[in-house]
Structure 1
Amino acid sequence: MSVLDIPALGPAGPYRTRKRTTVADASGVPALELASVPGLVVSHWIDQLRASAPLPVAEAAAVLGKAADAFEDQEILGDDLAAHERRVSELTGTPVTVVRECDRLITATLRDVGRMPSSARPTGCAPVGTAAAGAPAAGAAWCRTGDVFAVQAAGNSPGVHAMWLEALALGYRVVVRPSNRDPLTPLRLVTALRRAGLPSAQLVLAPCDHATADLVIERSDRAVVYGGQAVVDKYRNRSDVRPQGPGRSKLVVTADADRGTGLRLARTGALYHAGTACTATTGVLVEQDAAGFAGELAAALAEAAPARPADDAALLPCMPQAEAEQLVTAVLDRARGAVVHLAPRVERLGGAGSLSAVTPAVVELASARDPLLSYEMPFPCVWVAPFERGALDVLDGSLVLSLHTGDRGLLTRALDLTSVSNVYRSRPTSWTHPDVPHDGFLGEFLMRAKGLAHADEKRSDT
């Protein structure tokens, strides 16, 4: 496969830079030459975004709907959708079935982008786009807290690019800094939106280095930033930045619940998006016979056979051999003193470069207070520990907490955990629904309620 030239997409169209980043595919072979936009240029682009008036709500929704058709049906970079999905799979090492699922999420969001703002909007607020004169005599309007929204995207899943479409629907102008790992998905999406009629001064794609990425955040009004714990720590106290860090999602299986169903929930959650998603199951707490459960889960996950990422049978992430070996070593080093029921290994897949898959791991911990219960890895790696109902605090800090239990009181207590974002009962941690927020609704972060009232024309109020 030839090396692709990937430009930035500025307000004036494709923008190619002297400074470029070489991006290797999952086998370690160079696949892309990616533009790297300098800070002065990005800063000027943000000024242009800020000066651009947002589209009316109905017009924006129509454009986004047309963009779904363009994303699915048109050739972009010479690729139809199927070829694009194969290319993203081979570039990132993500199973092609996962890429397809994420692309369906993107197009579904484009066609129904009004759902999320409507779900997030307080019932006392008039809908976005309601003219002040048409609002209730006394009530509230739902308004943007700024004009420019920055996205520092992750590369672990194409599905992250379904999230920021809500901002366009709410009237924000958006600057996307793509991950070097996957610039192809946002490039296809931004191109489709522009072909559908979105003005180029509403949305730009700005690949850049880390220093320029920091500048983008400072120049924008709101930003979402994906990364590890260091990113969370860096922006923890910034009200204008929403960090999206490790998920540390957990499943609890209590003694009164069906064990076979619990195993299926654990296997499904562990393998979700090849174990790379923040909602994939990292920790499993078992009330009765945690050791036995770990052994049964190990047997179930051992059936996940390595395959090349573009193979429809692929379930595991692929990457260069050296990177895979580092991940395996990191798990085994930390697991010393624990019981390893399924040791991860590196499987070479042949062909050009050093394409390798990492097989699943299952490790039994002696205590749910072991920090490893929340040690998240970018492949299916599950830490199993005993569960005690009187120690629910060990579950805090989870993006998703799924309780496979008949004890509804336990579910109520789990909802009170302040650092748990989503609580499910007897569903995989990876379960999603359009009406269920992911770490809260984005609209909560982008919008605010403003009081709005009209004077009664028949009398004077003071």
Structure 2
Amino acid sequence: MRPAPGAAGVLRCFRGGRWYESADTTAVVGGLRVCLAPEIMLRGDARKAPAGPLRMAGAARREILRRAVSSFRDGAPVVGGIGAQDPAGFAASLGEIVGLPESLVWRWCDLLAASIAELAEVAPDRHSTLVWLPGNTFTCLVAVAEAVLRGSVVVVRPSNREPLSSARFVAALLDAGWPADRIRFCPTETAMLDPLIRLTDRQIVYGGETVGAAVSDVSTVEFRGPGRACAIVAADTDPDHTAAWLAGLVAADSGRFCTNVCTIACLGDPAALTNRLGALLDGIELAADPRWPVGWVSERTADRTADFVAGRTTAADRRLTTRELVVHSGGRTFLAPTLLRLPSPAGHPLAGCELPFPFASVVAADEPAVQRLVARSRFVYRTGVSA
């Protein structure tokens, strides 16, 4: 990938009320690097954190969030090591860092704003809150807003795959009037999860199954893990209408949300439906589709994902989309929307599998099989079936 416009340099930590350039850094993409906070720094900062509750009314905290959301989307907050970056520069940087089409940058900004506006009022507390963020979408910054509404001392740990959006949100909060001594921006190695849990009172942790297993016994952690979203399709649904509905569930937001459907269970014969759905997914224009733009990826990510799928596809599986999985177009690399028909969801390594692009498997299922799918899914969509 080319260097990210406006985002070359060394993205700094924020600690002690200022942006701080640590000795250790790691590469993000192009000319951008991010500073890493070692454990000794994390421990020292935790000892110096404010001890009492925030003396600020709930209305004032919500007003800070309102101004921060506006600055995040439409302003030019100053990020340490990067400087002021206007909205166009921010969108261009996310295109370079994580292959996000500009239309999705603005859509995700709007989704984040709506999620923050819907947060319930909470009483302030004296706790510190760790927010361990994922790299797939910056809409998860709503968790930082939740901690702000509580008046917490907020410790933001970004994904090292995409730390820019969370640094921008921290900068926007500071510009909006959030106390500088009540927020820290701490990029770290993944091994720092356990120390950060021990150094904070409450934790909101995003991640996959490995992270989930690591925090499963920690009572203070709210784990927001894989969605394994599934769609249950009744036997008598209209195939054209249902295929259009499913295409959006699979392909919206470039397939990168935990709410995107990755398993479709049909209580009837899926043939007519899946033929139509496969054609709709094949018709998506990569990057520029007005309904469901697909983001691009690095060559490394494309090859690794293609090898993952190939290694788990069996002779009994049938591909229902016609494009190759990896597509090169306009100087970029894409993972094309893909639909597979599996003989059974039971024990299949691709059943319920979340991948960083629009990917779903279709199975014919009876009610017991549907219930097994539903039991392991955080998000369940139904058509023609009572909940």
- Length-normalised TM-score, structure 1: 0.75
The residue that corresponds to 2:381 in the other structure is 402
Residues 409-462 of structure 1: CA deviation (Å, up to 9, x unaligned):
xx1xxxxxxxxxxxxxxxxxxxxxxxxxxxxxxxxxxxxxxxxxxxxxxxxxxx
Quick one: which of 232, 235, 252 aligns to 2:232? 252
The residue that corresponds to 1:69 in the other structure is 70
Q: 1:51 to 1:229 in 2, by over 3 A?
A: same
Q: CA deviation at 1:390?
A: 4.2
Quick one: which of 15, 23, 28 aligns to 2:20? 15
Whether the 8 Å contact between 1:37 and 1:206 is mirrored in structure 2 is yes
The residue that corresponds to 1:358 in the other structure is 335
Provide the rounded CA distance (Å) in 2 between the counterparts of 1:401 and 1:71. 32
Q: CA deviation at 1:210?
A: 2.3
Q: Residue type of the partner of 2:85?
A: D
Residues 132-187 of structure 1: CA deviation (Å, up to 9, x unaligned):
xxxxxxxxxxxx5x601101110101111123301211222210011112111111
Runs of 5+ consecutive residues of structure 1 not aligned to the other structure: 25-29, 119-126, 130-143, 412-462
Q: Residue type of the partner of 1:315?
A: P
Provide the rounded CA distance (Å) in 1 between the counterparts of 2:224 and 2:245. 24
Provide the rounded CA distance (Å) in 2 between the counterparts of 1:179 and 1:19. 16
Provide the rounded CA distance (Å) in 2 between the counterparts of 1:173 and 1:312. 41
The residue that corresponds to 2:321 in the other structure is 342
Instruction: Determine whether 1:45 maps to 2:45.
Output: yes
The residue that corresponds to 1:319 in the other structure is 297
Q: CA deviation at 1:394?
A: 2.9
Residues 184-221 of structure 1: CA deviation (Å, up to 9, x unaligned):
11111111111111111111111112233331111111
Of 245-254 and 337-346, the range deviating more from structure 2: 337-346
Provide the rounded CA distance (Å) in 2 between the counterparts of 1:158 and 1:404. 30
Q: CA deviation at 1:53?
A: 3.3
Whether the 8 Å contact between 1:154 and 1:226 is mirrored in structure 2 is yes
Residues 371-402 of structure 1: CA deviation (Å, up to 9, x unaligned):
33212211111100012134422321111001
Q: Residue type of the partner of 1:186?
A: S
Of 355-364 and 81-90, the range deviating more from structure 2: 81-90
Q: How does 1:216-295 map to 2 (within 5 A)?
A: 216-295=196-275
Residues 255-298 of structure 1: CA deviation (Å, up to 9, x unaligned):
23332222112100111211111111100011222233222211
Q: 1:314 to 1:285 in 2, by over 3 A?
A: closer
Residues 118-140 of structure 1: CA deviation (Å, up to 9, x unaligned):
4xxxxxxxx626xxxxxxxxxxx
Q: Residue type of the partner of 2:119?
A: M
Partner-residue secondary structure (3-state), 1:65: helix
Partner-residue secondary structure (3-state), 1:21: strand
The residue that corresponds to 1:149 in the other structure is 129
Instruction: Determine whether 1:106 maps to 2:118.
Output: no
Instruction: Determine whether 1:376 maps to 2:354.
Output: yes
Whether the 8 Å contact between 1:307 and 1:349 is mirrored in structure 2 is no
The residue that corresponds to 1:458 in the other structure is none
Runs of 5+ consecutive residues of structure 2 not aligned to the other structure: 78-82
Q: Residue type of the partner of 1:78?
A: A
Q: Residue type of the partner of 2:70?
A: D
Q: CA deviation at 1:117?
A: 2.5
Q: 1:260 to 1:314 in 2, by over 3 A?
A: closer
Provide the rounded CA distance (Å) in 1 between the counterparts of 2:298 and 2:362. 28
Partner-residue secondary structure (3-state), 2:154: strand
Provide the rounded CA distance (Å) in 1 between the counterparts of 2:272 and 2:197. 48
Provide the rounded CA distance (Å) in 1 between the counterparts of 2:352 and 2:253. 18
Q: Residue type of the partner of 1:60?
A: R
- Length-normalised TM-score, structure 2: 0.89
RMSD, aligned α-carbons: 2.2
Provide the rounded CA distance (Å) in 1 between the counterparts of 2:141 and 2:248. 23
Quick one: which of 109, 117, 120 aligns to 1:117? 120
Of 330-339 and 11-20, the range deviating more from structure 2: 330-339
The residue that corresponds to 2:97 in the other structure is 91
Provide the rounded CA distance (Å) in 2 between the counterparts of 1:52 and 1:348. 55
The residue that corresponds to 2:80 in the other structure is none
The residue that corresponds to 1:438 in the other structure is none
Provide the rounded CA distance (Å) in 2 between the counterparts of 1:200 and 1:165. 15
Q: Residue type of the partner of 1:356?
A: T
Whether the 8 Å contact between 1:335 and 1:363 is mirrored in structure 2 is no
* Greater relative contact order (Cα < 8 A, sep 6+): 1
Q: CA deviation at 1:249?
A: 0.2
Provide the rounded CA distance (Å) in 1 between the counterparts of 2:320 and 2:73. 43
Q: 1:291 to 1:314 in 2, by over 3 A?
A: closer
